[in-house]
Structure 1
């Protein structure tokens, strides 16, 4: 993986990560997603980054104590000060290593300077067909978020 555009965190799910049902709870997964997004976005932008949006988290399969967890983050779109990242959480029993995507989402990070104000980020240009599809998806999601915000604002004013 490109060390600036993509990053993978790897670790074992621990007993403190599980819920009362014996599976890793969603809050732990969301924390891991945020950590991977921060590390990836900071590497890309060379700046401190903050989370601006997390959308469409899909919990597709459970994780268990002792699972090897991989949280893959990759930049899929850059704006002036923001970066959209695709995140996939993959789990497997380390004895078998049958990898299963357990969660995925899109997260938007904003680069900020020491004064706490947004700073410009390097532009990312998609090259492969897959990269172009991911960038298109990020743009469509931006449009959907704007539409949702407009709808919510209209409903609140009514």
Structure 2
């Protein structure tokens, strides 16, 4: 196993035509189909980097920015943004292209945390990342920040740590009615 690899060595892109079978009831391409493709390319990128079977540990923030039409080409691009000891953050970008006009739209970006597995299903070490430019430093640093935020979120709202009174004021202007049992 290489000790370090560049993001360029593991980068992957795929292009696929969106068919009527991919559409939802509104006539647009179903978000679940796009998520499935995103997970597949994240797997391929992580496996190419680690040379191991990889599993999805988490997906960070999926925003559907623009709808994808049946008949458009979508291109998914995946790149390693961060490497830990056994995990990698894979950045995935989705763009659509109208084949008749050539107009392109950014439709989605997300970050998949993938974990490498050995033949026995245990987490396995992955090569580190060689960063070659400012964009690589930005992506790696952003992944570290996202990881810290996720740890803070999960511990802050863990049932043993949660203090309801600290959060009731946050609900004041929300579409909610609080009807707590006085027991």
TM-score (norm 1): 0.94
Establish whether residue 62 from structure 1 lines up as the match of residue 67 from structure 2: yes
Deviations 1:73-108 (CA, angstroms, capped at 9, x unpaired): 100000000000111010011222222110111110
- Contact 1:4/1:40 (8 A) holds in 2: no
Q: 1:17 aligns with which of 7, 22, 31?
A: 22
- Alignment partner of 1:42: what SS? helix
Superposed displacement of residue 149, structure 1: 1.0
Q: Which residue of 2 aligns with 1:153?
A: 158
Q: Which residue of 2 aligns with 1:72?
A: 77
Q: Which residue of 1 aligns with 2:10?
A: 5
Aligned length in residues: 157
Establish whether residue 91 from structure 1 lines up as the match of residue 96 from structure 2: yes
Mapped partners of 1:114, 1:7: distance in 2: 24
* RMSD (Å), alpha carbons: 1.5
Q: Which residue of 1 aligns with 2:115?
A: 110
Q: Which residue of 1 aligns with 2:147?
A: 142
Which runs of 4 or more aligned residues in structure 1 lie more than 6 Å from their structure 2 counterparts after TM superposition? none
- Contact 2:156/2:162 (8 A) holds in 1: no
Deviations 1:108-158 (CA, angstroms, capped at 9, x unpaired): 000001111010001002221111111111011000110011012145766
- Alignment partner of 1:31: what SS? helix
Q: 1:129 aligns with which of 134, 143, 146?
A: 134
Deviations 1:31-64 (CA, angstroms, capped at 9, x unpaired): 0110000011010100000000101111100101
Unaligned residue ranges in structure 2 (runs of 5+): 1-6, 164-183
Which of structures 1 and 2 has the bigger CA Rg?
Answer: 2
